[in-house]
Structure 1
Amino acid sequence: MKKFIIAIVVLLAICAGLGLGSHELTKSTGDSSSKVLNLYNWGDYIDPSLLTKFQKETGYHVNVETFDSNEAMYTKIKQGGTNYDLTVPSDYMVQKMKADHMLIPLDKSKLTGMSHYGASFMNKSFDPGNRYSIPYFWGTLGIIYNDKYIKPGELTHWDQLWHSKYRNDIMLIDSARDIMGFSLISQGHSVNTTNTKELIAAKNKLNRLSPNVKAVVADEIKMYMAEGEAPIAVDWSGEATEMMSQNAHLHYVVPTEGSNMWFDNLVIPKTAKHFKAIYAFLNFMNKPENAAQNAKYIGYSTPNTDAYKLLPKSVRDNKQFYPPKQVLDKLEVYSNLSAKKVQQYNDLYLEFKMHH
């Protein structure tokens, strides 16, 4: 998931809606009652009214705790002392947690509604056969532009960002894999390359982008773009949806030569205790009407094809958020790289930021 600020207000709203106080929330993972589900999720990443609906339908009480990065989630579960029943890692983190024996395989005999998911969103490289994961949301990395300054159709390639006419015009999301990634794509390389020469060339090309970069920012990029602080941004599709809902002049483009396609996924960590509640929740979220409601609330793309059919026509017809097959075929999912290579990506990215 591509959010970096924990939505405390929404979290408290969830608590209020479910009759939880903040004290109960903080001790939720110690609750071993059989009628609870302990969900460890990104901030503001589920419609609170769905949790209320789930509790009313099943009697299972949902405790929610949030994290703000895959790495923070991984570390907390790895350290032990938690009772999380479900969590929501991104693609490469599913791969890492699986390799580190931190996940429990799905019992497919207890799952219903898996046929609602589109074939193109299943059986991905990070979890062949979906042995451990169910797709939750997906999206892309792309370019957001403000039509007050940029003509529609003017920006369709990553390489165009380097044009001198965009001096001091671009905001970048603060993410090493993503920013290194679009530079790699612009040079015809994979976002998962481990070739040091290619990585250094990507960083050097980013250095040449510096005059055009107004700022490298985290979650506040949404506010800046919504308020018209910059003509262009590089960010994720879900964040773009939020910006566009606040400013009608904003548009989102996936460059034609390709980009990253990311997945967030529901998995069962080894800390899980409440298996009846887990499968009740997974089956509840698999239902098209619930997945569609969640997609409307979150604004990210749903992998549930039957839920997609229930979305407003304006959403279904938006090819930037539900791209056609020829675009999907050019998108790459991040692989879980070795710790050494992750460090190299991070170091080179930091060098670019310091250069900027």
Structure 2
Amino acid sequence: MKKFVITMITILLLCAGLGYGSHELTKSTGDSGDKVLNLYNWGDYIDPALLTKFQKETGYHVNVETFDSNEAMYTKIKQGGTSYDLTVPSDYMVQKMKADHMLIPLDKSKLTGMNNYGSAFLNKSFDPNNRYSIPYFWGTLGIIYNDQDVKPGTLTHWNQLWNPKYKDGIMLIDSARDIMGFSLISLNKSVNTTNSADLLAARNKLFQLSPNVKAVVADEIKMYMAEGEAPVAVDWSGEASEMMSQNSHLHYVVPTEGSNMWFDNLVIPKTAKHFKAIYAFLNFMNQPKNAAQNAAYIGYSTPNNQALKLLPKSVRDDQQFYPPQTVLKRLQVYSNLSPEKVQEYNDLYLEFKMHH
């Protein structure tokens, strides 16, 4: 799932009513005229230069409004009163929005470039046959380690995190589904299990991990790891990429027994109005050169295989962020769980945090 915490500057801008960047969505511009596209996206999740290029090529002006969580996006669209043409939910949220009749199916006859996407990134369980969604970016959950403390190649399994040699040495990203998830995988269970006994076992195993856990933190985990505050962390691939760009001693590994694979996706919400602009934009983003430019700007993994070929060889061959098929086939995508089960995951995770 997209793991991006909105920056404090952006929060201040939003609180001040200034919108985000130069692509503010307002009632005066967002709802009037046919030459606009209203995009509801995560913060800083598209290269601004691409928006300028799109407008020059097509004449459509893109208004961007941002959100910082799938749930915030869902709530705002559900409440109505908006006119978003496209939004970018993660895998499980596509499933939820589809179930709640909040999405418009894609008209495949108006789409070009869908054959640029790799088969590993299409026809996923949250949206069979991509009836509603086009993959935008993807990534994994894994382990970051500092080679000044951990010998490269030695930390390759989730269960190794319980080794007493990592006492007070592991930072965890603050995410119930992910932390419960890797504990479940270490027990050979599905990350989507609804079996209460499995969930209790995962929580109990996390209790046993507590002596090794230095901190459970949010976005500041990137700063801590970049500054060498801990030898090991569990975090998402996109976050790992940022840390590694600041500290050459850091490395990222997806444990061999598998992990979570998340997707962010472009979808058309029921609020959409500007369909010519929508398909012009989707086809524009499907073009390999544009998808490659966006991936270079964002730093996340592109599902567009033709775009990947345009990226530097050092990026294409980096198995930390573009793992081989042997790893891909062991990754699990989160399913949308019932509110009751989501609460159960959250409650057990909170017990672990309090225990820690």
| 2:76 counterpart SS class | helix
Note if contact 1:84-1:271 (Cα within 8 Å) is conserved in structure 2.
yes
Shift of 1:336: 0.6
With 4-13 and 207-216 compared, the bigger mean Cα shift is at 4-13
CA distance in structure 1 between the partners assigned to 2:81 and 2:238 by the alignment: 32
| 1:332 counterpart SS class | coil
CA distance in structure 1 between the partners assigned to 2:122 and 2:235 by the alignment: 24
Which residue is equivalent to 2:274? Answer: 274
Q: CA RMSD in A?
A: 1.7
Which residue is equivalent to 2:3? Answer: 2
CA distance in structure 2 between the partners assigned to 1:331 and 1:237 by the alignment: 13
- 1:155-194 aligned within 5 A: 155-194=155-194
TM-score, normalising length from structure 2? 0.95
1:355 equivalent in alignment to 2:355: yes
Shift of 1:15: 3.6
- Aligned residue pairs, count: 350
Gaps of 5+ in 2: none
Which residue is equivalent to 2:106? Answer: 106
CA distance in structure 1 between the partners assigned to 2:66 and 2:20 by the alignment: 12
Shift of 1:170: 0.8
Note if contact 2:85-2:271 (Cα within 8 Å) is conserved in structure 1.
yes
CA distance in structure 1 between the partners assigned to 2:261 and 2:59 by the alignment: 36
1:232 equivalent in alignment to 2:232: yes
| 2:256 counterpart SS class | coil
Shift of 1:231: 1.0
Which residue is equivalent to 2:78? Answer: 78
Gaps of 5+ in 1: none
| 2:284 counterpart SS class | helix
CA distance in structure 2 between the partners assigned to 1:342 and 1:34 by the alignment: 40
Which residue is equivalent to 1:127? Answer: 127
Give percent identity, aligned residues only.
Answer: 83
Report the residue type matching 1:183 in the other structure. S
Note if contact 1:6-1:68 (Cα within 8 Å) is conserved in structure 2.
no
Report the residue type matching 2:321 in the other structure. F
CA distance in structure 2 between the partners assigned to 1:273 and 1:7 by the alignment: 32
237 and 354 in structure 1: CA distance in 2 versus 1, 3 angstrom threshold: same
Note if contact 1:260-1:331 (Cα within 8 Å) is conserved in structure 2.
yes
Report the residue type matching 1:62 in the other structure. V
Report the residue type matching 2:293 in the other structure. Q
238 and 259 in structure 1: CA distance in 2 versus 1, 3 angstrom threshold: same
CA distance in structure 2 between the partners assigned to 1:177 and 1:97 by the alignment: 19
CA distance in structure 2 between the partners assigned to 1:77 and 1:283 by the alignment: 24
Report the residue type matching 2:40 in the other structure. Y
| 2:6 counterpart SS class | coil
Which residue is equivalent to 2:320? Answer: 320
Note if contact 1:5-1:219 (Cα within 8 Å) is conserved in structure 2.
no
Shift of 1:9: 5.3
CA distance in structure 1 between the partners assigned to 2:112 and 2:174 by the alignment: 38
Which residue is equivalent to 1:46? Answer: 46
Which residue is equivalent to 2:304? Answer: 304
